[in-house]
Amino acid sequence: MKVLLHVCCGVCAAGSVEKLLPEGHRLTGYYFNPNIGPAEEYEKRLLAAKTIAGITDFPLIVPPYDPEKWIESTKNLSQEPEGGKRCEICFRLRLQATYDYMRSAGFDAFTTTLTIGSQKSTETINRVGSEIGGDKFLTRDFKKQGGSQRAAQLAKQYQIYRQNYCGCIYSMRKT
Ligand code: SF4
């Protein structure tokens, strides 16, 4: 299948792609992450994602960075803990954009690297993806069987940038 893979960062891409490629899909990455702040952090993660795309040989689409809508959608949820209501909105915004691009560009299906994050709810991500895309969303759990640890190992091996907070400024402050 032609699969559009939402890529949240290079580390998660490294671990997820390693699990998806053996399924025989033709992957294209989609780096849509208006949640990441500040802009310098967005660029660091993008560079790492590009490095992994180059090493594992898949094209990476990068829409313009425009955090305004994300900020507007989450402004009343700044005090939410990681894993709370803000995160579900964050997942939905990114997966909806990935789905829209998938439809417009003729892909067969879409999925995301997000489930490899050890702090992120696989159940919520898969539910949101399925609500948006029905059976076009490939439900996966990339953190299974040591997936998160493997991603960290690959990041070290490829010497890419590894962030120490989830992505938004709220999660950065907490760290
Ligand atoms: S903590 Fe992470 S998943 Fe939650 S809103 Fe912030 S960037 Fe999004």
Name the strands in the sheet holding 109-112, side by side, starting at the edge strand that comes first in the sequence: 60-61, 26-30, 2-6, 109-112
* Band of pLDDT at residue 69, cut at 50, 70 and 90: very high
**What distance lies between CA 59 and its chain's CA centroid?**
15
93-109 tens-digit pLDDT: 999 999 999 999 999 99
Structural domains in the chain, CATH included, are 2-174 (3.40.50.620)
The two structure tokens encoding residue 3: 């699969």
pLDDT of residue 62: 98
Q: What is the dihedral of CA 4, 82, 14, 38, to 10 degrees?
A: 90
Atom of ligand 1 nearest to the CA of 77: 5
- The answer, yes or no, to whether residue 174 has pLDDT greater than 70, is no
40-66 tens-digit pLDDT: 999 999 999 999 999 999 999 999 999
3-33 tens-digit pLDDT: 999 999 999 999 999 999 999 999 999 999 9
Mutate to test the pocket of ligand 1, among 79, 89, 119, 170 (most ligand atoms within 8 A of CB): 170
Ligand 1 centroid to residue 161 C-alpha, Å: 18
Q: State residue 114 phi and psi, 5-degree precision.
A: -55, -30
Instruction: Give kind and range of the element (H or E) at residue 53.
Output: helix 39-56
pTM of the predicted structure, to 2 decimals: 0.97
Question: Where are the extended beta strands (E) located within the chain?
Answer: 2-6, 26-30, 60-61, 109-112
The closest alpha carbon to 60, from 99, 9, 96, 23, belongs to: 9
**166 ligand 1 Cβ < 6 A:** yes
Share of the chain above pLDDT 90, in %: 98
Which of helix, strand or coil describes residue 51?
helix
